[in-house]
């Protein structure tokens, strides 16, 4: 199961990168995330805490379960933002100014039938 937590962490980083968040340092990612999503940043911190514990050998089922729950809450927020929330941050703007999604992003965001 610790492989699932590692995979979830990688997926969160990929989604954050796609959304325009810098992914090199955890504290910077968390700080940037707190600007746009203050309601779920603690989920990110908790998921990272449990994932780190698992990497350090404390891979109890409870820690792994809680890490997955935390990552899931963050993932859902990042991939399914409210309609009035922009889809992407500006990569070179530090004051959290957001960009509208491109036409390609809009097409790929539409549900497939």
- Residue 102 main-chain phi, psi, to 5 deg: -75, 170
Encode pLDDT of 87-96 as tens digits: 555 555 444 4
d(CA 54, CA 108): 35
d(CA 61, CA 64): 5
Burial of residue 10, with CB atoms counted within 10 A of its CB: 0-12 exposed, 13-18 middle, 19 or more buried = exposed
Encode pLDDT of 42-96 as tens digits: 988 988 888 888 888 887 888 889 889 999 999 998 888 655 555 555 555 444 4
- The pTM for the full model equals 0.64
pLDDT of residue 112: 47
Encode pLDDT of 91-111 as tens digits: 554 444 344 455 544 455 544
């Amino acid at each position: 199961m610790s492989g699932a937590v590692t995979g979830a962490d990688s997926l969160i980083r990929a989604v954050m990168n796609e959304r325009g968040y810098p992914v090199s340092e955890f504290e910077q990612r968390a700080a940037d995330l707190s600007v746009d999503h203050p309601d779920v940043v603690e989920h990110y911190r908790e998921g990272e805490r449990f994932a780190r514990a698992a990497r350090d050998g404390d891979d109890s089922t409870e820690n792994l379960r809680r890490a997955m729950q935390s990552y899931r809450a963050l993932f859902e927020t990042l991939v399914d933002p409210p309609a009035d929330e922009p889809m992407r941050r500006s990569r070179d703007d530090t004051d959290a100014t957001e960009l509208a999604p491109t036409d390609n992003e809009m097409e790929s965001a539409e549900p497939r039938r």
